[in-house]
Structure 1
């Protein structure tokens, strides 16, 4: 299999004059971008980075971030991106954990870098200007052209993503060139991308969804439109200006696009393919998107940093809530919630833990420096995701949440997602998250946290739930109205904040 450096060269050789990347007013063809990539590769090499070294990158989704990603592929350097909102202690931890040889940052991350004790021990390259930097990105770009050709093989490590680390230390997920290329090829096939596609590059390049969009566009000689920080107004303007043909977002961002005042006046006719991942999409949002975009393809994709694609539903409209079947590069199973035996299968229709075969082409091989995490998640050649779900009567997967999010009330296992899907359809509900709060009698009680979009109270929502097919034991016992549902930077609901009382009440 080709490594990713040679993969990029494929696109340059096939279609050198095609627009490859857009960032603001900057538009680069594949040939012009390759020139920048090879200069940055040479600059990194002159900084002392070589095959197998880690480069820590703390940048937003800008041209420099995408260029560094590709430059590392040519050098055989392991690009190791972090959330640009990372705290000093997170930068310290990841610099040590990865034994990173250098750090690249920008203005939004400069304060955290300045407060990082470990950052002072490595070369610090700034995009823009900062007096604490030892080098400037402009200097890398001014280097002579790298002429040694791609240094990596398909079996070398391409990048290392850090999981969000909502509990405990973040875990490094190293992924080889062949795993990344297989994942990108699978993404192209399962989203039916054609030559010359154009995507909105808004999912962060420290997250698997962002990386997949970047690589997939190169495979089809397509265009990656950088959006450094999500803004619905800017996103809509770029969709119209650049004639974006596909969107691959988390549900939260779709929600925000539809809710923005500019949506009705934006020409979205170029968008023919929608894909979502990162979290379940509630029925109401799915129906609104289908009506607004009328896409040719609407894909529900379920995956992870560890095993990129686990399941794909190529027509999310056909059966809302279904994540479909195993992707083309993997196998998956549902095992009993309490087991570590990959052969101890959960009965059809019963909730279990989702596990994926580590022999799959997209699967990682284990966490970086974390034997404890491997012992918890890797069993018998299978990756135990920590996600819960069930297989319906057609054998399709429905993802219901995390093992840790499961509400156990009166001895019953209750999935928050089932309740959220019902409540999302109420006309007075904008967003909803369900969690379990401690209860002396029941162990946990079901509580629904509601962001309103119209006049509604708890009594009305309770009456609404009673009129649906939601089982009585799943019905929320309390409704809490909030100004915002707390989410991670990539749009995942942070239920732990809700259960800890870390939210702003809606006082209207």
Structure 2
């Protein structure tokens, strides 16, 4: 089923049910549909055709949602990129996707105007007087109703750019079938139900943001926009709108529950929470259970390329566990090989660490990167997607992530997973966040270096070293030999920590 039809079905089921909330404004499915149809007819008159790219540099707002659905009805490819990308990365995405239309707002105007286009696109500005025409002009010139362009399930619906921590972003084209299958899997895996509601806080240039929007559409749920993250405002919206579901990265849960107003906020309607994008510490998992008391709490492990790998909804018993394969997936562990020489037949024995690979033949799986056959050949081999992640299965067949192939440290001949050390450090009551990387060393090959964001500024190197030395889950040879205290950790547009930037600070103090 194509996404334009998915939206039309939702409108026909409950036209007068609230679909979208922005500030104090509420919009029904029927009202959103009228604006979508006007946008679609206007863009059709401008020459936007099937498979054309419609690039968007907007925050999460009504205009972004309507542009998404209008693009789907036209059979064009919705191509959102982050306004936080560097000028170089923005230029790369523009050259790579060659958009027919670029939609921007005041915050992204500079990036758009500074870019060089091989073929000048149509500029649509959010504010009056901006671009070739404004968003309001586009709506005004359109007509309602609109008959959707014929779209095949295998046509590309969206293209998201992976915000990798090395190199330029890669375009990930995803078909209507991919997006529909991933959304149905998301609904099942998170135990969502008709008329649920969620906070639209994860950006629409990210797979988590798209999944929240699409899930609410399929269920005729309420999507409450939160264009700029602020934990106090988020708590207010959760209470006021009786939000029933949240799907966010761990850092946002941490900030939400650490906010001074958290203990006074009414979170009783919030019954289903999920996280993805990064590991969540055991301390934060416990805090989520205690403060939110969810009926369903799921760790989702996946990627932009193949939405679901595994999920775990038994975090009370197995905190940090990635769980079992998703409803469409097959998962294997193979011999890790940074050079890319492993094959799907190189499975590791039970209980050993291996590279996680996912079958690339499921309905959730992309077919390859945009304009990057080299990257596609490296990632997909014999119909299996090589994630670059390291993991191991426990005795129940549940998966645990232990690190990345390219992040693995070798100290004194012993392989050390950064995640293993980070989990121990993050469990210390005076530590807010911890990241571990390797530093070259003449004697050991590499030593373990820990970057610490303190929760309590009084924490000392000696205190942390003793904590690691006597911790039951960390061998003495794996404990950090150097600590550096920082105010915050460098992150990319999706909130992932950029480890390569931390290497620039390795000349600091605080040797243990």
TM-score (norm 1): 0.96
Shift, 1:248, TM fit? 0.4
Contact residue 183 and residue 211 of structure 2 kept, 8 A: yes
- Aligned counterpart, 1:481: 485
Deviations 1:262-307 (A, max 9, x none): 2122111111111000011111111111111011011000000000
Deviations 1:208-253 (A, max 9, x none): 0000111011111101111112111111111111111011000011
- Aligned counterpart, 1:386: 388
Residue 36 of structure 2 corresponds to residue 34 of structure 1: no
Distance 1:248 1:197 in 2: 13
The structure-2 alpha-carbon separation of the partners of 1:87 and 1:53, relative to structure 1 and needing over 3 Å to count, comes to same
- Aligned counterpart, 1:374: 376
180-189 or 469-478, which moves further after superposition? 469-478
The structure-2 alpha-carbon separation of the partners of 1:150 and 1:192, relative to structure 1 and needing over 3 Å to count, comes to farther
Distance 1:128 1:463 in 2: 57
Residue 426 of structure 2 corresponds to residue 424 of structure 1: yes
- Aligned counterpart, 1:266: 265
Shift, 1:150, TM fit? 4.4
Contact residue 59 and residue 106 of structure 1 kept, 8 A: yes
- Aligned counterpart, 1:467: 470
Contact residue 74 and residue 149 of structure 1 kept, 8 A: yes
Distance 1:443 1:365 in 2: 39
- Aligned counterpart, 1:340: 342
- Aligned counterpart, 1:402: 404
397-406 or 77-86, which moves further after superposition? 397-406
Structure 1 residue ranges, 4+ long, deviating more than 3 angstroms after superposition: 502-506
Distance 2:509 2:168 in 1: 30
Contact residue 92 and residue 119 of structure 1 kept, 8 A: no
113-122 or 429-438, which moves further after superposition? 113-122
The structure-2 alpha-carbon separation of the partners of 1:38 and 1:502, relative to structure 1 and needing over 3 Å to count, comes to farther
The structure-2 alpha-carbon separation of the partners of 1:406 and 1:136, relative to structure 1 and needing over 3 Å to count, comes to same
SS in 1 for 2:273: strand
472-481 or 121-130, which moves further after superposition? 121-130
Contact residue 483 and residue 509 of structure 2 kept, 8 A: no
Deviations 1:327-376 (A, max 9, x none): 00111111110142011012222221111101111000111110110121
Runs of 5+ unmatched residues, structure 2? none
Matches within 5 A, 1:42-61: 42-61=41-60
The structure-2 alpha-carbon separation of the partners of 1:365 and 1:504, relative to structure 1 and needing over 3 Å to count, comes to farther
Shift, 1:145, TM fit? 2.2
- Aligned counterpart, 2:319: 320
Runs of 5+ unmatched residues, structure 1? none
Contact residue 434 and residue 446 of structure 1 kept, 8 A: yes
RMSD across aligned positions (CA): 1.7
SS in 2 for 1:118: coil
Contact residue 14 and residue 29 of structure 2 kept, 8 A: yes
- Aligned counterpart, 1:11: 10
The structure-2 alpha-carbon separation of the partners of 1:504 and 1:201, relative to structure 1 and needing over 3 Å to count, comes to farther
Contact residue 3 and residue 178 of structure 1 kept, 8 A: yes
Aligned residues: 504
Shift, 1:165, TM fit? 3.4
Deviations 1:395-426 (A, max 9, x none): 11111222211112122221111111111121
SS in 2 for 1:500: helix
436-445 or 245-254, which moves further after superposition? 436-445
Distance 2:150 2:27 in 1: 24
Contact residue 199 and residue 246 of structure 2 kept, 8 A: yes
333-342 or 191-200, which moves further after superposition? 333-342
